[in-house]
Each structure stands twice: as structure tokens, then as C-alpha cells.
Amino acid sequence: MPVPNPSPDPSPDWSSEHPIWNPTAETLPRAAREALQLERLRALVGRVARVPFYRDLFAHREIGPHSIRSLADLRRLPFTTKDDMRRQHPLGFLAVPRRDLARIHGSSGTTGKPTFVAYTAGDLRIWSELCARFLVAGGLRPEHTTQVAFGYGLFTGGFGLHYGIERVGATVIPAAAGNTRRQIEIMRDLDPEVLICTPSYALTIADAARELGMDPRALPIRFGHFGGEPWTEDMRREIEDQLDIAAFNNYGLSEVIGPGVSGECAARTGMHLQEDHFLVECLDPETLEPVPEGEPGELVITTLTREAMPMIRYRTRDIARLYREPCPCGRTTTRMSRVAGRTDDMLIIRGVNVFPSQIEEALLRVEGTTPHYLIEVSRPGTLDEVHVKVEIHPEIFSDRMDRMQAVCERISREIQTVAGIRAHVDLVEPRSIERFVGKARRVLDTRGLSERDS
């Protein structure tokens, strides 16, 4: 992952070109923010005593507001997992009486049953404020028209962004997801400057425009805020190139609020976390110890202000890096990288945590490698061995053996740099790696199998 490297000298008119929605909150000096976080954390620990799950855990560990003397005491608090939420289905995590709820959303689970997330009227006000912050950071102005092609419904994306745009004072077209031809017709009729959807849907829109015989670059959209699924820098370049727009990333998850946890500013050096409302830790998913700044780890989020369903140290299973050095935009908040993977995808190779996305990133650095690769992990003796199969491509093929070996070594070096492991690179014939519809299978880990065999 490229380490954000903001220019040390922002242009003098940066602030007038790039306004900040809530300057007080977003440019708070660190000490002031930490004092605010500490006060809110202490109050939170008192408030969650109304949730049986936390009440029991806290009673067992003798934890109360008195236990929180500094922000470091956060580490004395227990974690909350998605499984904990499932066990409290449907609304066991409510910290307010049911009558105080204003809205209930849900996250789609792979198991079928949604996990419900409840909001008070106060939660909804904060949520739209948080969406307004990243929308403005990424260029939204009151005079803009915005097409929201996110799903409206239990999914938090549609309504979250909708009210954020209204909060800014811009115009919303709630087009909702799907019916791509109609999306394009709406764009041609109403000239929205801004598009909101998942990154993959942005590319679907570009494809559909071409199928209709139109140039997607000629559509009125000038920039877009994309989220709701992990994506890569490569995909950003694709979207920006195909639609001739600027593409901004934002992050959130319904378990803690929905979109609005963080989002990019115009400097695009990571997504600014809204730290007056969330305490964000970056931990090694195995040891649960903090990782050094700038290293990848699992994001663990504590909601400081949520009323209906506060979360203590919620394990997002999302892997990202945190950067605390100042951003040229003037915001003082910590920034997070793109989500580089899920802890579920993590491989532990000779004690090193490795994500398939890191291998992909290493391959992207070598021109002419295809996006088709397979990571094979085995343990022939006592040590783990990694083979990365990469399909040959005309750009890297040569009739000279020394050049071919140099390509393998180059890929191997990039993998060592990005992922910190030594891998054997096996070039394979075109189309020899199995194609999957939807989510590709990138890893073949036979270590467990060989253990069972022996």
C-alpha cells in the first residue's frame, strides 16, 4: 500500500478551495480531542451498563466509569464481535428503551439473518453530520446535484448518504441501486455533478453507457463518493479514467453507524476518521496488541456518542493502516488507509501476517503481470512455503531465459517488500488459473490437509 505522503507545503488558498464542514470538530488540536474522547469514553462506560451483555462483562471484571482514568484504559475493556451481536439477536444491544428508537437498519449477513442496528433521533443527527463531513471533504457543495445509486432499505448506504447530502444543502436524486439504463437517463435529464454508489457499480454504469453507444466520459458526473465494498487504487484509476471523474473513498460499517466513520479529503492521503465520535484502534488480530503506526492491523472501533446501540471495542475484521502525521487539508484527525483485506482472509506464514491483497499490490507494481494469480501455501517439512502462480502475459514474456528469470526475481522482491515474506514465483500458462464468477479464490492453503494426512 502506498504510504500517504502529503505535500509539506499546502497551497495558501487550500482552505478556501477545500472548505471544512465542521472546522471546530475536524481541526481540534490533539490534546483537546483526547480530553473530549476521555470524557465521552467515561460516560459511555456508564451508559452501556444498560446493555445486559456489557453489564455482565463489566460486573465480572469490576469495570465502571471509575476504571477509565486515561484513554489507555480503553485496553481494559472487553471486545465485542459480530458473533456477540448475533447472539443478542435481534435487539439485545439496545441501551435505550425501545420507544426512543427512530430507525432500524440491518446489515446483510452471509448467514441470511440481518444484524439489526438501531438509531435514536440523536444518532441520526450525528450520522448525517458525519456523512456531511466526508462529502464536503470530497468536494460536495450546496449547489450540487447528487445521484444516489446505493440501495435504499435496511442497508445503511442509501439513507446514510441521502441525509448527509441534505444536511450539506445539496440536491439529492434518490435513484437507488439497479436499473442501470435508467440511471444513465436520469443523468442525462438532470445533470447531476456527483455520483454515490459502490465502486463496482460505477464501472457497471460506464459499461452500460458504452453499450448504449455513449461515451461514459461525456456523462455530467464530475466526481463520486464510493464505498460499501473494498476496492483498490487500481480500481480508482479505472473509474476515474472511464468516467472522467475524481473518485473519493469513504468507510463505515453498519454495526457502528454505517458510512461516515471516515472519508477522504481532496489531498487523498487516507480517510479522515471522525475521532470525536469514534475511538479507533489498530491491533494485531492474533495478539490483539497495537501495531506500530503505519503497519496493517485490524480496526477496532468504540462508538463514543451512539445512544441506541453503543459498541465497545467492536472488532471490524477490516485490515487497514493508521497515519497520524498532519494532512495538508488542515484536519487534525487520524487517517486510515483503504481496507486492505479482512482478518478472515489473513494467512500466517512463518509467523508473518499476510493478506492476499498485499500479494496483489506487489504484482501491480510489476508492469505486465495479469490480475490472475493464485497463492499456494504448503508445509513440505516444518516450514511454510509460499508459491505465487502468475499467468504469463505478452508484456513480460521474452525468448531470453535471463529476462524471464529477472521477471520472477522482480516479482519476488516486490512481494518481499510489500508482504515481508519470501515467495517462489511460478509463471504459468495463460488462462491456466481457474476463473471464478464473483469473488475469486486467491489462496490454496494445503497446510491443514497435510497435517491431517500425517
Does 136 engage in binding with Zn ion (CB under 5 A)?
Answer: no
Q: Which residues of 350-372 are buried (b: 16+ CB within 10 A; e: fewer)?
A: eeebbbbbbbbbbbeebeebeeb
CB of 314 to Zn ion, least distance (A): 25
Q: Is residue 256 a contact partner of residue 303, using CB atoms and an 8 Å limit?
A: yes
Min. distance of Cβ 365 from another protein in angstroms? 21
Interaction between residue 400 and another protein (CB under 8 A) = yes
- Parallel, antiparallel, or unpaired for β 347-349 and 352-354? antiparallel
Q: How far is the CB of 418 from another protein (least distance, A)?
A: 22
The residue (of 193 and 414) whose beta carbon lies closer to another protein is: 414
Residue 427 in the binding site for Zn ion (CB under 5 A): no
Residues 407, 366 contacting (CB under 8 angstroms): yes
Residue 379's closest CA among 350, 410, 346, 407?
A: 350
Question: Which member of 83, 429, 451, 453 binds another protein (CB under 8 A)?
Answer: 429
366 binds another protein (CB under 8 A): no
Percent of the chain that is helix, strand, coil (3-state, to 5): 35, 20, 40
Q: Which C-beta is closer to Zn ion: that of 280 or that of 388?
A: 280
Beta carbon nearer to Zn ion, 264 or 361: 264
Residues 396-415 that bind Zn ion (CB under 5 A): none
Among 11, 200, 405, 416, which residue sits at the site for another protein (rule: CB under 8 A)?
405
Q: Name which of 398 and 416 has its Cβ closer to another protein.
A: 398
> Counting Cβ atoms within 10 Å, is residue 279 exposed (0-12), middle (13-18) or buried (19+)?
buried
How far apart CA 203 and CA 206 sit, in angstroms, is 5
Q: How far is the CB of 271 from Zn ion (least distance, A)?
A: 9
267 binds, among another protein, Zn ion, none (CB under 5 to 8 A by kind): Zn ion
298 Cβ neighbours under 8 A, 6+ residues apart: 282, 283, 284, 285, 315, 316, 317, 318, 319, 343
Selected binder of Zn ion within 175, 291, 304, 327 (CB under 5 A): 327
Regarding 399 and contact with another protein (CB under 8 A), the answer is: yes
Contact of residue 243 among Zn ion, another protein, none (CB under 5-8 Å per partner type): none
- List contacts with Zn ion (CB under 5 A): 265, 267, 327, 329, 331
Applying CB under 8 A, which residues contact another protein?
392-394, 397-401, 404-405, 408, 426-432
